[in-house]
Structure 1
């Protein structure tokens, strides 16, 4: 089965898996709000058997429910890959695991550079091999949570009321409203502020680029200038502060 194109995370909401009676509460994924795009840093935070995200071919998957259902050695390669990109495991043209010819048997089989993993059949007959799953996990859209950003950029947010300053790494595809959602971890009341650039209110439904904040990272690097020394700044004006225009 060839993996079809996916446009928005919201179109493929993850569905709760069926958990075995032995699954501990710690294995059940915590609830979180889905995003359209994730950075590699976002994915890297989820790097354990109890909180496992991976990406491949520009898509991000939460495999925590899968690992909650499948304990044992076949889970280990996925656990080791948690928080990273596993595009090298798959054929981009088909969306299926890569194959190779085994040098010993001369038979074509799935290529598993980190060891055989969940839903990959054994080389030969195996009594413990279960085939009762309907869809292999790499085709199961229950685990899909959003797109991997093609590129990120940095932006500094300064709260003019508290003088708090935070620099965020954000996907270039995100709107200012989505960046505000990221900023909530630094200020839960970010919605009570007007977001401005050079004194002009930003259009929250547009990206930084669309708001006139061009990403000049590549140009700075070409000129041997550290982009971090020229990070664009957004100012937050508290809406109830009448001294701020």
Structure 2
């Protein structure tokens, strides 16, 4: 049985990614930071294939400890999904050093430390697939998001460097969701305002928000043999909103 590790794997898009991998027959280790109720619900929904482990991706010591626990219990994972992320939106001139450091630590340094801890075991076991969950704001800036946009842009370059150096054993790709119908996106972009939501929908050629299932479909492609010749790439899943 393939073991998959999904950071931020119990809420939002990450929950759907965990459930999809479980449905594909994987043993899923879903990492989470603090929401115990969401973790319990995800484990229950996983029909015995999901285990939730607490880990703050901004703390390298916690990452090392949880990775040792995973590999001791299950061996090398075949799939790693770096999905955990936080945002602290503020205007650039109001943004504090803590706002910057917290977002970069989780969104960029977290994937580095998690991948660095698990990649050697993956290589030794014959390889696997790493998928970094970025964002279309890695390519196109938005107001009040200098820290978040910079973290996701850095993640794209990290993806390419990892793909280059971990080849031919491990494929590394980035999945870039656009506007996705989650609680976090609704709050960040004020999509509970009908006028705001209508304006966003008008800007998306497909005429709707993405769903977590859309992102899981893309992940399924990136971690299966159907993408066996794909590495170092950016898969944008946003209904045509960004065409760069």
The structure that is strand-richer by fraction is 1
Q: Do the structures match in fold with TM over 0.5?
A: no
Query: TM class, shorter-chain normalised?
Result: under 0.3
| TM-score of the two chains, using structure 2 as the length reference | 0.22
| TM-score of the two chains, using structure 1 as the length reference | 0.22
Which structure has the larger Rg over C-alpha atoms? 1
